[in-house]
Structures are given as structure tokens and as C-alpha cells.
């Protein structure tokens, strides 16, 4: 029997296939792709642009201002949807595509699904060398788009229209796989985009996806249960994978049933509310004294949905050398780290299986009491740290003002710089799943763009609550054009620009390692004869946002209330002190390369002091 076919260009077939992909979420069917972000150029406007225009109702295309920002926005969207839905990004051949390398790396580090549909040079090579082509003299098949191979989970270059029949479903499957989840890259040569092929009609029929839940191995569960039952001082490290598995309720039930203290990673912030008596706080370099204190004493550590990054482990100094790890993770690569006893499987299913196996086991009451006393002391410190008073403005103070006035379901977004540490340590979670601190790739510039993507997703299900951005002046100057995007698309953000006069947190690291302040604060740059401050309020107004400047905590509180009442993006600017007001407690050791010799005795002394804690480091076990 003859197969029904439809003649389409490669680009038309790609977009039609993407529009036919659906996912079931809480009994509701919706498109896997919420749409896309796009900046057109000659590498994607004529063919892919034509196809996207025809599908503009099914797959809305958001016009970005910068390709890197588009990738960040797609990552923020995927986080908000807990990797159940995601976006594609399209950029022109050459520099437009190259701009997305950093955002691809961010998505890869954070295990986030983003589909990159990128222009490429001509397969025929007849017009070579073409505009924006990077020539490789020894290998003409090797081009700019090959640079994405280390930072994506799936990569392909389409050289014939039929190839997408296999490539596109594989890309979608990768992005929906809990173990392999990450960005997928499809290179689209400009000529191939417009070539036609008779595609099977069935390929465009509606397909409903469901994210796989992998049952853990029975033997691995048994081994983990046996080890947990020996624990006198057990502890749970809850990572971002808990939320992606939609296992927040199971985590809480497991901890409460077996009376095991829980600490959170940066990605796992908001797995538990601040008021839960078993939430002992954030762990690691940017953590809390409470979490780090019990980590140093714990004998069995159950790590759930975390890749155990160095900021979580204090470069592996946060734990006793005798401590044993059990790692629950959908990804085998993450489950087996540092000689962990692996439980490869879905977090929700694994926690239930572990709980059933543990029966009536509960951690000793004395251990739980010790952990809770540590948390109470930490809470007292945080309360003082975020309080306003007769002291300079600080990140912590601004965090305290917003935390007090925001709604429980408002989403908080921050990224690299000083704010991830300050938010991780000082933010009190009001509702689960409401914190996005981008520290997986430690990528400055994510804040506003990622929040724009998150707000697009939030508006699809939870439009009554706000997305709140904390950003320093350094990150703001790096990437702020999606203020304009948020205004144009009517996706309201509340953005707090906290100006400390440069890259103050790196200046702090510079000083802490004995170095002189140099090239971080504007005042310490020899090539800047006359430093001056950007008028961030005027800058935001120029992009169409409401904007105002606050001088102190009370003015910040009043401005934030006005921002909550506003209907469009509002930017609140405030100066903070670059030296005073940092959170000084809660830090573990962190491996940082310091000069072994120096003519400056302060640098030498700092190196010796830093190295004095290295003996605590676990050597790969």
C-alpha cells in the first residue's frame, strides 16, 4: 500500500513536526514546545522564518535582543516548567549562532532542555566562502557549529531533508529524558532548509509524550536501605533533581517519616519551606553554619537529585572522611560520583521504595535535636543579617525587605556574582519551587533574560504572581536588553538593581587571597581616569520600564509595594556597600588556585592560610 506523503521544505517539516509534539502534565495535554525565541538573519529568515510565520499561532516566536539572552530565557522557561515543556531558539549562521554558545553551556551544566535551530553554511559549497563563514583550511566539514558539541547533549547537522525523520525525534527524546536531559543542537545549512522532500504524513500526527520514570534497581535499593539502617547521624542532601522529578512531597514525607535532617543545594533551594523543622538550611560554600555543621558530623548521607558540585561539597571538605554516600539520581554518571552507593532511578519512586524498605527506622532523637538547634542559631543570625538599621545598605538587607513583602508564590531569580551566595544563605523559602539561583554554570547575565523566560512560563499557569530579579550592576551592564523584551511582550518583571560599583564579590575574593584591589571595582581600574555611576533608573526608563531609585530600606519597601501593584516591568535601583554587609557566616572551604610564591607577603600568607584546610579534603572517595 502506498504511503501517504506531503511535500514540504526541510524547514517547514521541522516546524510542523515540533507543533505536533504534546505532553501530558497533570492529566492535561499541551504542546511540548511553548514556542521559541528568534533573531533572524540571512541564515534562517528566508526558509525557517517562512515556516515559523505559518505556525505563529501554534508556536509563538518571541523576538529577542541578543542570542545569548534568548538561550538564557529558554533555560528560565524550562526551569519554571520543571523540564516538562521547553522552547526552541533560532539564530542566523555565524555570529548569531556563536552568541548562543554560553547559553548552551548553561543549559548543559544545569541539565536543561533547550532546542537550538541554528543556521549553517551551504552544503553544496558552491558559493564558498560565504559571509560569516569560518573556514577551516584542513577540514571543510569542520565549522563554527561544531563548537557546540561539548556543550549540548545531542548534535546534528542536516545535510539532506530526509535526515530530520530520525534526527528531530532523537533530539526531542534527549530533551525529555531525565537521565540525558540537556540542550539539543540542529545545524541547518541555508540551502538544505529550502530543499523539498516527500515526508510521510504520519510523521506530523499528534504525538503525546510522557516523561519516563525509571524504577530503581531492587538490589540497589536493598543495599541503600541496609546502609541507612546503620546510620546514627543520617542526613539528606536535596538537589534540583527533586523538583524536576516532582518529588518535593515525597522528599518531605520521607524526611518526616524517618526523622532525617535535610539540607539543600543551591539548585535545590525551595525543596522545603523555611518553617519545616527538618530543613536545616543550605549547604556548602554559600551555605549555612547549620547545614555545614551537621554535614561535618553525618555518617550516612543520602544525596537526592544532585551532581554534588564543589559549592555543595566545599570542594569535598564539608564531610567526614568516614561518611558514606548514597546517591539517588536518574543519571548514572551523577549517581556514581565519589564512590557513592548508587541508586539509579527516578527520585519520586526511589524515595518511596527506600521508605518502604526502612520501615520504622528513624534517626536518633538526639541527632535531630542537635541539627534543629544549629538551625535555630542560624535563623537568629539571618534575622540580624537582613535587618535594616544604622549600617550601610547591603545585599542581605535588600533580600530581607523583599522576602518580607513578596507573595509566597512569587519566583525569585538571581545568577553569578555576590547575589547567589547572599540569596542562598538569607532567603527564607515561603513556598516550594519558588527560587531560581543560576549557579550551575555560574553565568552572569542570566538574571533578567532567564527571568523573562520564567515569566513567560509563569504567565501560562500562575499569572497572578510575580517574577522578582536580583541583579548587581556588573551583571546588569553585561546583559540588560531583555528589560525591553519584557516590556514589549507584556511579561512583567520586578527587577532590583543593586549597585556596588563594579564586580565587588570578585574584589572580595581578590582581597581575601591577599591581593590588592585591581580591575574589579570601577574605582580600582587604572585605565579609568574618572569613574562615574550609570544612571540605571534612566537606562531602565529608556527601555520602557517603570523605574525609581531607593536610598534605604524603607524607600526600597515602598518602591517594592508600588512595583507589586504595577502592571508592567518595574526596575528599582539602590546602591549597596561593596565592602560592608556581606554574609560572613555559613561558608565552607573552597578550592581556589592561589599563588604559591609572591613578592607580596600578604599573598604568601593568604596562600598558606588557604592551604591549611586542604587536609580536610576527601581524595576522590
Common-topology check for domains 218-377 and 391-575: yes
Share of the chain above pLDDT 90, in %: 94
pLDDT digits (tens, 9 = 90+) for 410-432: 999 999 999 999 999 999 999 99
**Are 426 and 386 contacting, i.e. CB atoms less than 8 angstroms apart?**
yes
pLDDT band at 3 (very low <50, low <70, confident <90, very high): confident
**Are 299 and 597 contacting, i.e. CB atoms less than 8 angstroms apart?**
no
From CA 273, how far away is CA 108, in angstroms rounded? 28
CATH of domain 391-575: 3.40.50.970
Query: Do the strands 300-304 and 234-238 form a parallel or antiparallel pair, or are they unpaired?
Result: parallel
Choose which CATH entry (3.30.420.40, 3.30.465.10, 3.40.50.970, 3.90.380.10) describes domain 5-209: 3.40.50.970
pLDDT band at 1 (very low <50, low <70, confident <90, very high): low
Mean pLDDT of 434-443: 94
| 3-class DSSP state of 262 | strand
DSSP characters over 137-184: TT-TT--GGGGGGGG-SEEEE--SGGGHHHHHHHHHHHHH-TTT-S-E
Task: Work out the mean pLDDT of the chain and round it to a whole number.
Answer: 96
This prediction has a pTM of: 0.96
Count of positions (residues) in the chain: 621
Question: Over 80: is that where the pLDDT of 589 sits?
Answer: yes
Question: Over 90: is that where the pLDDT of 462 sits?
Answer: no
Confidence at residue 326, expressed as pLDDT on a 0 to 100 scale: 98
Q: Where are the domains of the chain?
A: 5-209, 218-377, 391-575, 591-621
Of 572, 537, 533, the C-alpha closest to 556 is: 572
Mean pLDDT of 550-572: 98
Of 432, 68, 466, 464, the C-alpha closest to 243 is: 432
CATH of domain 218-377: 3.40.50.1220
Q: What angle, 0 to 180 degrees and rounded to 10, lies between the N-to-C axes of helices 395-405 and 553-565?
A: 40
First to last CA, the chain: 61
Question: Over 80: is that where the pLDDT of 336 sits?
Answer: yes
Confidence at residue 620, expressed as pLDDT on a 0 to 100 scale: 64
Please state, as a whole number, how many other Cβ atoms lie within 10 Å of the Cβ of residue 576.
22
Mean pLDDT of 484-490: 98
List the single range of 102-111, 132-141, 570-579 with lowest mean pLDDT.
132-141
Confidence at residue 461, expressed as pLDDT on a 0 to 100 scale: 85
Confidence at residue 390, expressed as pLDDT on a 0 to 100 scale: 74
Please state, as a whole number, how many other Cβ atoms lie within 10 Å of the Cβ of residue 56.
10
List the single range of 139-143, 279-283, 460-464, 470-474 with lowest mean pLDDT.
460-464
Question: Over 80: is that where the pLDDT of 621 sits?
Answer: no
pLDDT band at 144 (very low <50, low <70, confident <90, very high): very high
Q: Could you identify the residue written with the cell 584542513?
A: 138
Question: Over 80: is that where the pLDDT of 2 sits?
Answer: no
pLDDT band at 195 (very low <50, low <70, confident <90, very high): very high
Structure letter (DSSP) for residue 214? P
Amino acid at each position: 500500500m502506498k504511503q501517504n506523503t506531503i511535500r514540504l521544505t526541510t524547514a517547514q517539516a521541522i516546524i510542523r513536526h515540533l507543533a505536533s509534539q504534546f505532553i501530558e502534565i497533570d492529566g492535561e495535554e499541551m504542546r511540548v514546545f511553548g514556542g521559541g525565541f528568534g533573531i533572524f538573519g540571512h541564515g534562517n529568515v528566508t526558509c525557517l522564518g517562512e515556516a515559523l510565520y505559518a505556525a505563529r499561532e501554534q508556536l509563538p516566536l518571541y523576538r529577542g535582543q541578543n542570542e545569548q539572552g534568548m538561550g538564557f530565557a529558554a533555560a528560565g522557561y524550562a526551569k519554571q516548567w520543571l523540564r516538562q515543556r521547553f522552547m526552541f531558539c533560532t539564530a542566523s549562521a555565524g555570529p548569531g549562532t556563536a552568541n548562543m554558545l554560553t547559553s548552551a553551556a548553561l543549559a548543559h551544566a544545569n541539565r536543561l532542555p533547550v532546542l537550538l535551530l541554528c543556521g549553517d553554511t551551504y552544503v553544496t559549497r558552491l558559493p564558498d566562502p560565504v559571509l560569516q563563514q569560518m573556514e577551516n583550511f584542513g577540514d571543510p566539514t569542520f565549522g563554527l557549529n561544531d563548537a557546540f558539541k561539548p556543550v549540548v547533549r545531542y548534535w546534528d547537522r542536516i545535510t539532506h531533508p530526509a535526515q530530520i525523520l530520525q534526527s528531530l525525534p532523537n533530539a526531542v527524546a534527549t530533551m525529555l529524558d531525565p537521565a540525558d536531559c540537556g540542550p539539543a543542537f540542529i545545524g541547518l545549512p541555508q540551502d538544505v532548509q529550502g530543499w523539498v522532500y516527500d515526508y510521510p504524513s504520519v510523521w506530523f500526527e499528534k504525538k503525546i509524550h510522557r516523561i519516563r520514570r525509571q524504577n530503581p534497581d531492587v538490589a540497589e535499593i536493598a543495599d541503600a536501605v541496609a546502609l541507612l539502617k546503620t546510620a546514627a547521624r543520617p542526613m539528606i542532601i536535596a538537589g534540583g533533581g527533586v523538583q524536576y522529578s516532582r518529588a518535593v512531597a515525597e522528599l518531605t514525607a520521607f524526611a518526616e517519616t524517618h526523622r532525617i535532617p535535610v539540607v539543600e543545594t543551591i539548585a535545590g533551594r525551595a525543596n522545603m519551606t523555611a518553617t519545616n523543622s527538618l530543613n536545616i538550611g543550605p549547604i556548602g560554600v554559600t551555605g549555612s553554619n547549620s547545614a555545614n555543621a551537621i554535614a561535618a558530623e553525618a555518617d550516612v548521607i543520602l544525596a537526592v537529585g544532585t551532581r554534588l558540585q564543589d559549592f555543595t561539597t566545599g570542594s569535598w571538605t564539608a564531610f567526614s572522611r568516614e561518611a558514606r554516600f548514597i546517591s539517588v539520581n536518574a543519571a548514572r554518571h551523577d549517581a556514581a560520583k565519589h564512590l557513592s552507593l548508587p541508586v539509579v532511578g527516578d527520585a519520586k519512586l526511589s524515595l518511596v521504595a527506600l521508605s518502604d524498605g526502612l520501615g520504622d527506622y528513624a534517626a536518633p532523637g538526639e541527632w535531630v535535636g542537635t541539627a534543629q538547634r544549629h538551625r535555630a542559631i542560624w535563623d537568629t543570625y539571618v534575622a540580624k543579617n537582613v535587618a535594616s538599621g544604622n549600617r550601610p545598605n547591603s545585599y542581605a538587607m535588600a533580600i530581607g525587605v523583599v522576602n518580607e513583602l513578596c507573595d509566597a508564590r512569587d519566583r525569585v531569580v538571581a545568577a553569578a556574582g555576590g547575589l547567589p551566595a547572599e540569596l542562598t544563605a538569607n532567603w527564607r523559602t515561603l513556598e516550594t519551587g519558588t527560587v531560581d539561583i543560576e549557579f550551575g554554570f555560574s553565568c552572569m547575565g542570566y538574571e533578567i533574560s532567564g527571568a523573562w523566560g520564567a515569566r513567560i512560563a509563569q504567565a501560562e499557569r500562575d499569572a497572578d504572581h510575580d517574577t522578582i530579579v536580583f541583579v548587581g550592576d556588573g551583571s546588569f551592564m553585561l546583559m540588560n536588553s531583555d528589560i525591553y523584551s519584557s516590556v514589549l511582550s507584556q511579561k512583567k518583571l520586578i527587577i532590583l538593581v543593586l549597585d556596588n560599583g563594579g564586580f565587588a564579590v570578585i574584589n572580595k575574593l581578590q582581597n581575601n587571597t591577599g591581593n590588592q584591589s585591581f580591575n574589579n571595582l570601577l574605582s580600582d581600574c587604572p585605565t579609568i581616569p574618572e569613574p562615574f555611576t550609570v544612571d540605571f533608573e534612566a537606562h531602565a526608563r529608556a527601555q520602557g520600564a517603570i523605574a525609581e531609585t531607593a536610598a534605604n530600606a524603607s524607600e526600597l519597601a515602598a518602591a517594592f509595594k508600588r512595583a507589586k501593584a504595577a502592571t508592567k516591568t518595574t526596575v528599582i535601583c539602590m546602591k549597596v556597600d561593596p565592602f560592608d554587609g556581606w554574609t560572613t557566616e555559613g561558608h565552607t572551604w573552597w578550592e581556589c588556585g592561589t599563588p604559591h610564591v609572591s613578592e607580596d607577603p600578604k599573598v604568601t600568607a593568604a596562600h598558606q592560610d588557604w592551604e591549611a584546610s586542604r587536609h580536610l579534603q576527601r581524595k576522590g572517595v
